[in-house]
Structure 1
Amino acid sequence: MSEIVTTGGMTRRKLLGVAAGAAAASVLAPHVARAAFPSEPITVIVPYAPGTTDQLVRILGQQMEKILGKPVVVETKPGAGGTVGATLVAKNAKPDGHTLLFAVTSVLSVAPHENKLPYGFADLRGVAQITSGPNMVGANPNAPFKDLRSLVAYAKANPEKVVYGSAGTGSSTHLAGEAFARAAGIKMTHIPFQGVTPSVTAAVGGTVQLVFGFAQAIWPQVEGKRLLAIAQFGEKRAKVIPDVPTFREGGVNFAMPPRVGFLAPAKTPDDVVEKIAAAAKEAIGAPDFVAFAERALAEVDYVGPAAFQRGLVEEDKTFSTLLREIGLAK
């Protein structure tokens, strides 16, 4: 049988061959493109003013550069409790792994429930958890309690007489105080301050009896005998403050460690996320990073993409419920 010739002079067999080749190329092209990651420098947005968090990720990024073969550039974009930087990544960044967010997970699990924001929980995905606090509770040495059990007993006998300070209404430290009170079955009085440092100063001075916050802010005051260490928020004792008991050790079934890690636009491909996470997991073992984390009282606690995302989903549910209960949900 003779070949059918098209008007362009191409036989039917050749035409089918070209079409098949084009179809195969269209299927393979996305995989070829993603296999090249990273193809350009990786930008990490830290949504806070320069300080411990951006220094931590800069040192981590130096190690990840060696693994990934491309520069890792860290930019601080502070504002509105971290939501300015989070918005940049969630709504403006291409979902290709070249722009990441490095932040406390509350920018995703808390902030969208409190305020009307350009992004929501579904706009970002977990890549890798790097640290888990630790957060802790400090008490003024003149308070009528010296440890967690006596604090709970006093608060039950004297409802609302225990006064605690936080970094502001709706802040993660405020929510930690409210969540603890519910778990312990007590009622306390909250006084908000403009940041963690003023709230710690108030506790040292006796304006408030308790303060909730990162160990970096509270532990130096404990070492200086200006505050007492009451409890830490982890599931287990943090290596950086091993002498401070957990809430569960003190008889309260409660844990709420603040988690810090990499987040990416929700549509970032799985294989890209896995490659970034693998690089981060390897990088946290570098001596420079380990030494800085210890000095900064940051508990290195790596969690991979799948488990990190599951934890984010549970955290989102917890804070959504808590914010509704205390009347701070938008």
Structure 2
Amino acid sequence: MLKEYFSSKKLKMQNKVIEAAKNVFFQQAAALNAIGDKLGSAFVLAVDLCLQCQGRVIVSGMGKSGIVGRKIAATLSSTGTASHFVHPGEAYHGDLGMIQSGDVVILLSYSGETDEVLKLLPYLKHVDAKIIALTGDVNSTLARNADVTLSVRVEKESCPNNLAPTTSTTATMAMGDALAVALIRLRDFQPHDFARYHPGGSLGRKLLTRVQDVMHCPLPRNLPADSFKKVVSVITQGCVGITTVCSEQGELLGVITDGDLRRAIEKYEDLKQLTARDIMHTKPVTIGADEMFAKAESLMVSRKLSSIIAIDQAGKPVGIVKFFDAS
């Protein structure tokens, strides 16, 4: 009886917890949709200020807004917009020198009345820095003194007491992401550009890696007249699940995968009569050995392949690249 009581109690608690969590997702999604629907000329102007900025895009905010601001600055700086975060409290102890004429300053304050943030305004006006305000009150002191105001107003926080910054911080972060993505589009920021700012991580390695750096060599190779048994042997020894079929001069004629072998076993009764020419694909997908692996990976995804053939400048096969080789 006691076991049943606790099991029932645990189930009720679980349902209550899941319901509370789902409400957070639903409320925040609705809030983001509402803000997105209202984006207009002010957002375009804010993006243009950042795009035309001759200095840096500075982000500043206190408390939870400051944490969000650090993330916004990090996203901007990693996607081609020179940016850094300045803590408004530290600004009065020497960090104001980090903000110069020609900079664009994004100030975060949901109330628009955060004292530490407002104290930056006289200096920003003095150095003629452009100000973008991200606030929940478009009539606040911050909004009135900004060159552009972007509203991140939400009807209610996800916090049941409507106190802890939850939905509002999500909205502010999303607005920062929207600015960054718009700038990515306008700058035509490409994966190789992104890699320059992320050389140490797995993503950076993948974006900076060329096919020739990771391709499998020596190349598994069969002649068109090779027997089915010989093809099986070459694929097994190659350990990459594929072999090339080449002419005596090394020209690529086709490929055979281990999947092709299984299909041949199902289709043909007399395997001894089969040659490589009978089961090969005559239009294999290839990529230059000096191309970036990211391009090879994209090609494999679009063609639903696990491997492709790397070729040299003369068009001859030199290696095999697998989908996860740069991971």
Q: TM-score range by the shorter chain?
A: under 0.3
After TM superposition, the score normalised by the length of structure 2 is: 0.28
Q: TM-score, normalised by structure 1?
A: 0.28
Q: Which has the larger radius of gyration?
A: 2
